[in-house]
Amino acid sequence: MRGAAADIQTDLTAIAGDGSASIEPDACAAYAVDGVTPSCVLSPATPEQAAELLLSVADRGLAVIPCGNGTKLGIGAPPQRYDAALSLRELNRTTYYEPDDLVVSVEPGMTLGVLQQMLAGRGLWLPLDPAGGERATIGGILAANSAGPLRMRYGGPRDMVLGMKIATADGKIVKTGGRVVKNVAGYDLAKLVIGSHGTLGVIVEATFKLYPRIATRATWAIEIDSLDAGREFRRRLLASPLRPMRAVLLNASARTLVQSANREVTGSRRMMIWIEAGGSASVIARYERELSGLAAHMNASLKPAGNSEDAEVWKGLADFGNRLASQRHTAVVLRAALPIAATEEFLKRAEQHGRVEGLEVAGVAQLGVGAVEIGLSSIPSPEQRVPNPTNVEKLRRLAADLGGSLIVTHCPVELKPRIDVWGPRGDDYETMRRLKEAWDPSFILARGRMIGAFESGRAMT
């Protein structure tokens, strides 16, 4: 094995240049996906190098997984073949920045945190709060189309990308879109690649439209007694003229998880709504007034979060899935996509299901977005039992009954082969499969993780 790996490494080093390929066991282990460790880590320093590497990988019949900082690498079926990690961390430059036109192009390895810091210098930002937060790389955010609660106001990554450069499985670098805010020339290849989890091409540059930084932001908390109260709040909020930046509802377990990292757990079993708005002092005052009114309707009160607490809450939320998975090695984290009005009901049914099955259900609902993150772990000893995979199917059915779908974002390695990550195929599956074949005929990119998975007989339907 090592010999073959060394051959591959020698071959690939020749293309990548010294130092850009490694077979160090520690380096490789850091890129393990679903328990599969690659034999080699490739770290191209330029987009061209990334493309050349792909070509040589294809020539040798190998398979790679493009990787950033790994905050979302758990999403996907176990790889069917995984020879080399294609680490994009070193591809992290800014290639175009026109602050006066509110446009920036960056390479995929740049982290969101670094980008935000650069943009802040000119009073700009990219309104994204993906899973993994500031540590998430741009490439990973786009590959997973990872949107957080900010999507209610700003849309998700797919809505902010103006153009992209993609390294293809046949070693080309292709461009789609451009650097202007409106452009309909040619097919929108970026849309296809965004959310394809590295299975269609490697994003080597992305161009975003930018937004002016919000002068002042404020976060408030509302403690509520029931999901029905949460639903009532969401209804009234969406029917009001208010346009908050983001709003989430945390059930008691999720609240404990998100807040416990920062301070003493209060032990409260109540749910919490966090809501953030931005603007001038008078706009913030208006929000505070109206949100107080909405809270009063539910016999609850609005509490402003302190400045530091404020940031911590949203950070904690972005890390919800990763934190849960690292704290409780048995946890399964799911993400449901639902019609906006079904979010609280889904959470309610998931909680009911948890009570019946003896599972703790930590849930975060993104209000006005229709996304719910659910962490399942066993009680009373969270460290011991891995939840039965049938729970995933049961929750998936609950989501489907409400018109939604559900994927698995984190789960213990031993459980993965028995779990259907993506759920049932639609009537558009055959088209997706043919697109994968047309762009990556030898399946060198993340083989089996998204599309091939269905062929392996692992799918439930």
Closest to 85 measured CA to CA, from 3, 12, 194, 154: 12
Interaction between residue 293 and other proteins (CB under 8 A): no
Sequence letter at residue 414: E
Question: What gap in Å lies between CA 178 and CA 53, rounded to an integer?
Answer: 25
Pick the piece of the chain touching other proteins (CB under 8 A) from 80-88, 133-141, 183-191, 409-417.
Answer: 183-191
Q: Is 155 in the site for other proteins (CB under 8 A)?
A: yes
Binding of residue 47 to other proteins (CB under 8 A): no
Q: Which is nearer to other proteins, 239 or 356 (CB)?
A: 239
Contact between 79 and 63 under an 8 Å Cβ cutoff? The reply is yes
For residues 385 and 330, the answer to whether their CB atoms sit within 8 Å is yes
Q: Is 187 in the site for other proteins (CB under 8 A)?
A: yes
CB of 41 to other proteins, least distance (A): 27
Closer CB to other proteins, 248 or 252, in the complex = 248
Q: Which of 405, 413, 415, 442 binds other proteins (CB under 8 A)?
A: 405
Interface with other proteins, residue 438, by CB under 8 A: yes
CB of 268 to other proteins, least distance (A): 30
Report the site for other proteins in 317-356 (rule: CB under 8 A): 337-342
Binding of residue 434 to other proteins (CB under 8 A): yes
Using the rule CB under 8 A, is 403 a contact of other proteins?
yes
Q: Which of 267, 380, 428, 457 binds other proteins (CB under 8 A)?
A: 428
Let me know: does 357 contact 389? Beta carbons within 8 Å: no
Please tell me whether residue 113 adopts helix, strand or coil conformation. Answer: helix
CA–CA gap between residue 71 and residue 224 (Å, rounded): 31
One of 185, 299, 308, 457 touching other proteins (CB under 8 A): 185
Percent of residues in the chain assigned helix, strand, coil, to nearest 5: 40, 25, 40
Looking at the Cβ atoms of 45 and 402, the one nearer to other proteins is 402
Neighbours of 237 (CB within 10 A): 20
**CA 408-414-415 angle, 5° bins:** 35
Which residue of 41, 291, 432, 446 would you call a contact of other proteins, by CB under 8 A? 432
- Interactions with other proteins, residue window 71-110 (CB under 8 A): 98-103
Render 58-70 in DSSP notation, one character per residue: HHTT--EEEESSS
279 is an interface residue for other proteins by CB under 8 A = yes
Q: Is the separation of the CB atoms in 435 and 187 below 8 Å?
A: no
Please give the residues from 226 up to 265 whose contact with other proteins meets the rule CB under 8 A. 235, 238-239, 241-243
